Amino acid sequence: MRARRAIWPGMGRNTGLRTGAALVCAIGLLLHVVAARAQTPRAPDLTLTGTLTGAAHETYTEVPFKVPAGVERITVEFAYTGKAERSVIDLGLRDPERFRGWSGGNKSSFTLAESDATPSYLPGPLKAGTWRLVLGAPNIRKAARADYVAKIWFDRKGQAFAGFSAAPLARGERWWRGDLHMHTGHSDGSCLSRRGAKVPCPVFKTAEAAVARGLDFIAITDHNATSHFEAMRELAPYFDDLLLIPGREVTTFHGHANLFGPTAFVDFQLGGARAPSLATILDQAKTAGGILSINHPGLPSGEACMGCGWTVKDTDFSRIAAIEVVNGGLAEGPLSGVAFWEARLNAGHRITAVGGSDNHDATLPPDKAPAIGVPTTVVRAPELSQAAILAAIARGHVFLDLAGTRGRLLEVHAASGGSEAQMGDALAAPAGARVRVEVHVVGVAGGSMSLAGDTGAGSSDLKLAEPDTTKTFEFTADGRASWLRVDVRGADGRLLLLGNPIYLNPVP
C-alpha cells in the first residue's frame, strides 16, 4: 500500500496498515571477484583481443568498441596472460562522453545498466557509439608480453535480467522462504538513525533483517522507483546467502501491483498518455521479462486509502501471474485478498496466491506487524536463483506461512489415472475418475486442515494430531474445470498456512 495514505481510523502500524513507511596497490593484484555475468552462458557479442608489451609499461591503452543502439546492459569479462612474469593490466571504461569507472586490478568482470552497475562503475544511459576500455599497465617487464581478452555482452530490450548473482546461491529442489513486498528509504520505508531520528531506511537494513529471519529470498518493492537496484547490486556479493530480486510496487491511482524481475523502467502512470491502460504496463512488463502480482486487493479505495484496492478497469486476469492475498497481518477478515483471488479462480483463471509483509521499517521486531517475513511466501524450486524462484511463483508451486516460521510445511499432491500434480499444477480427471489427494503438514500439531474449491472433494479426517502429519482422501471427479486447495489452521482456529490450488481439467 502507499503507506503515507493509509490513514483511516483504527488502522495503525500494528494492523499492517502502517501510517508511514589500501592502499592495496593494484600492482600485482587481481582479485577474481564477482563474476558479473549471469549463469546462462551465451556467446559474447564482442570479443576484443590484443597484446601489451614492455613498451606499454606505465602507459594507458584505450581500446575502442562500438555499442549499438538499444542496449540496456553491458557486461565485460576481462582476462590476460603473463601474471607469472608480474605483468599487470588495470581496467577502466569510458562511454562516448564521459568516464564510467575504474576497477583497476580489483575486478575481472563488471556490468552496467541504466539502473545499476558493479561498484567501481557508474550506472546510467548506455549511449550508442564508440566506448573505450581503458587498460592501465602498472608493470610489464621489458621482454614480457600480456595477451588480453575482453568479452563483452550487450543485453537488449526483451532479454530478461538474470539477477544480481552470477550463479544460483544454492542448488537442489526444496522449499525456499521469502518476502515479496518491502519498502526502503528509496520510497517510504523509514527507520531510526543512529542518533534516533526517523530517516529513509538504507537498503542493507532490510537485507540484514531478512537474513536474521531465516529468509532465502526477498524482493524489494519500492513505489515506482528503480533507484534501489544500485544498492542491491552492491549488497548482492555480500549477501551471498540471500537472493535479492529486483522488484517495484507499480503504484497507480487505481491499484498497486508488484513487478518482479526486471531492472528496466516500466511505466506506472496509468490512465495518462504513457500508460493508457493496464495492457500497456503488462506489455512493458512482459518485454522486460517480469511477472506482475496484484497487491492487497482487499483494501479499500478512496480517501481512506488512495489507490490501495484494485479498481483497474478491464483487467485481463489471464495476464496476471499472482495476487497478494495476504498483506502483512491481514490474513483474514474483510481486508484479506483471499475472496478477491478465489473469485478469479472460480472464473477459470490460474493465478498464484502470494504474500508480502509490506514492511516499511526493517527494524520492526518479528512480533510487530508488518515485520519482515510475516507472512512468508514459500516456493518450491530446483535452485535459489531469480529465474527459478520467479518461474516457480508463476507456476503456483507456492504456499504461504502466515506467521513467518522457519519450519512449517504444507505439501499437497493429487493423483488420478497415473498422473500426478502438486500445488499450482493441472491434473486431468475425466468424469467418474477417482482422484487421490495427499496432504503433508509439518509444524501444526493440534491444528486442522480445511479444503476449499469447487471440486466437491471432502474429508472427515481433518485433524492434525502430530507435528508431522500426512492425510489422504479420495473423491470422484465430475469432469468439469475446477480447483482444490488446502488451508491449515492452528488449535485456536487461526489461519497459519494457505495453499495454492491444484487445477482439475483447466481450460487451456
Site residues for Zn ion per CB under 5 A: 1, 249, 256, 295, 358
Nearer to Zn ion, 285 or 504 (CB): 285
Q: What grid cell was written down for 123?
A: 550506472
**Alpha-carbon gap, residue 336 to 13, rounded angstroms:** 16
The DSSP bridge partners found for residue 378 are 177, 399
Question: Helix, strand, or coil here: 393?
Answer: helix
CB of 432 within 8 A of CB of 456?
no
For Zn ion, which is the closer residue by CB, 133 or 323?
Answer: 323
Minimum separation from the CB atom of position 1 to Zn ion (A): 4
Cβ 17 to Zn ion shortest distance, Å: 10
With CA atoms as reference, report the closest residue to 124 among 156, 101, 153: 101
State the Cα–Cα distance between residues 376 and 356, nearest whole angstrom: 7
Q: Give the whole-angstrom CA distance, residue 505 versus residue 508.
A: 9
* Euclidean distance between CA atoms 32 and 90, whole angstroms: 13
User: Do 323 and 365 contact (CB within 8 A), yes or no?
Assistant: no
CB closer to Zn ion, 169 vs 323: 323
Task: CB nearer to Zn ion: give 330 or 441.
Answer: 330
Quote the CA–CA distance of 53 and 186 in Å, as a whole number: 47
In the complex, what is the shortest distance from the CB of residue 255 to Zn ion, in angstroms, rounded to a whole number?
9
- For the bound state, the minimum distance from the C-beta of residue 403 to Zn ion, rounded and expressed in Å, comes to 20
Smaller CB separation from Zn ion, 91 or 215: 215
* Beta carbon of residue 308, minimum distance to Zn ion (angstroms, whole number): 6
CB of 280 or CB of 301, closer to Zn ion: 301
Which lies closer to Zn ion via its Cβ, residue 103 or residue 258? 258
Q: Pull the grid cell for residue 301.
A: 479505495
Q: How far is the CB of 247 from Zn ion (least distance, A)?
A: 10
Q: How far is the CB of 315 from Zn ion (least distance, A)?
A: 16
Helix (H, G, I), strand (E, B) or coil at 248: strand
Residue placing its CB nearer to Zn ion in the complex, 256 or 350: 256
| Of 18 and 151, CB closest to Zn ion | 18
Q: CB–CB of 330/181 below 8 Å? A: no
- For the bound state, the minimum distance from the C-beta of residue 466 to Zn ion, rounded and expressed in Å, comes to 38
State how far the Cα of 17 lies from the Cα of 369, in Å rounded to an integer: 9
Cα 165–63–120 angle (5° rounding)? 35
Nearer to Zn ion, 179 or 249 (CB): 249
Nearer to Zn ion by Cβ, of 107 and 183: the residue is 183
Minimum distance from residue 391 beta carbon to Zn ion (Å): 24
Q: Is the bond preceding residue 375 a cis peptide, omega within 30 degrees?
A: yes
- Cell numbers at 386, concatenated: 531469480
Residue 114 Cα distances to 111, 121, 128, 244, angstroms: 11, 11, 13, 18
Q: Least distance to Zn ion from the beta carbon of 256, Å?
A: 4
Please state, in angstroms and rounded to a whole number, the distance separating the CA atoms of residues 206 and 219.
10
Q: How far is the CB of 301 from Zn ion (least distance, A)?
A: 11
Rounded to a whole number of angstroms, the CA Rg of the chain reads 26
Whole-angstrom distance, CA of residue 435 vs CA of residue 504 = 10
Q: How far apart are CA 83 and CA 53, in angstroms?
A: 13
Question: Least distance from C-beta 5 to Zn ion, angstroms?
Answer: 9
SS3 380: strand
Listed in sequence order, the DSSP H helices in 37-121 are: none
Helix axes 203-212, 228-235, angle to 10 degrees: 50
Q: Determine if residue 227 is left, alpha or beta; phi over 0 gives left, psi from -120 to 50 gives alpha, anything else beta.
A: alpha
CB-nearer residue toward Zn ion: 105 or 255? 255
How would you class 97 by CB atoms within 10 Å of its CB: exposed for 0-12, middle for 13-18, buried for 19 or more? Answer: exposed
- DSSP H or E segment with residue 292: strand 291-294
Whole-number minimum distance, CB 306 to Zn ion, in Å?
10
- Cβ proximity to Zn ion: between 1 and 439 the closer is 1
